[in-house]
Amino acid sequence: METLDNQDPVFFREVPQARLRGFSRRTGWGCAAIVVLLALAAPAQAQSLRQGVSAFQRQNYAAASRIFIPLAERGNAAAQTYLGFLFETGRGVPQNYTEAAMWYRRAAEQGDSRAQYSLGLLYDRGFGVPQDIVEASKWLNLSTAAAPAPAREARARIRDAVTTKMTRGEIAEARLRALEWAPSREH
């Protein structure tokens, strides 16, 4: 898995010094303190994701899950994908395919291609979701189209293997669903 996506919003923007110079000593320090606190708080989400990925890579899955859960609940697609994997494999959390599918879906709907791939496989096997070959093909099509070059060929082989189990009508329906799909951000 990739370590970080460039989907994390940057909340902090430097406040021009000219705006800070006009504050009196009494009000200026309070406002300056708020600016500093905001500056320190903004990178916390990205830092936490890095910490979660680091724990994941060290195979400290329990620590990784504790870091990923609050990030995933706030809509971080990368954290949702990692958390889906942890639930799917039972690493650091009890294995739960339904929970894995829920986290993968939340990330997949935001356009995370790894989550789309994993969700497609769950639909193909019927793990945590009703088995649905058309929905599986839709997510695998989307994942393959958005995959980085090194992963694209492998994902295409899996997508094509799933397609061999489908009728022409099912293939057409899966392609239509993929064409009509658009990513959406969580609020």
Residue 1 lies in a domain: no
Helices (H), the chain: 17-21, 25-57, 61-73, 77-89, 97-109, 113-125, 133-146, 149-163, 168-180
Residue 98 is assigned to a structural domain of this protein: yes
> What does the pLDDT read at residue 40?
38
Instruction: Please give the Cα distance from 122 to 81 (Å, whole number).
Output: 13
Its pTM surpasses 0.85? no
The pLDDT value given to residue 140 = 98
Average pLDDT over residues 6-18: 31
> Binning pLDDT at 50, 70 and 90, where does residue 186 land?
confident
Q: Is residue 106 part of a domain?
A: yes
Distance (Å, rounded) from C-alpha 2 to C-alpha 14? 29
For the segment 90-148, what is each residue's pLDDT rounded down to a tens digit?
999 999 999 999 999 999 999 999 999 999 999 999 999 999 999 999 999 999 999 99
Domain of 66, in residue numbers: 25-180
pLDDT for the residue 7: 37
Q: Does residue 2 fall inside a structural domain?
A: no
Query: What are 41-93's pLDDT values in tens digits?
Result: 444 455 699 999 999 999 999 999 999 999 999 999 999 999 999 999 999 99
Is 3 inside any structural domain?
Answer: no
Give the position of tokens 């898995």: 1
Q: Is residue 186 part of a domain?
A: no
CATH number at residue 52: 1.25.40.10
* Angle at CA of residue 145, ends 85 and 138, nearest 5°: 70
Residue 9 maps to a domain: no
Q: Over pLDDT 70: what percentage of the chain?
A: 74
Domains identified in the chain, total number: 1
Quick check: is 56 in a domain?
yes
Whole-Å CA distances, 29 to 13, 14, 154? 18, 16, 56
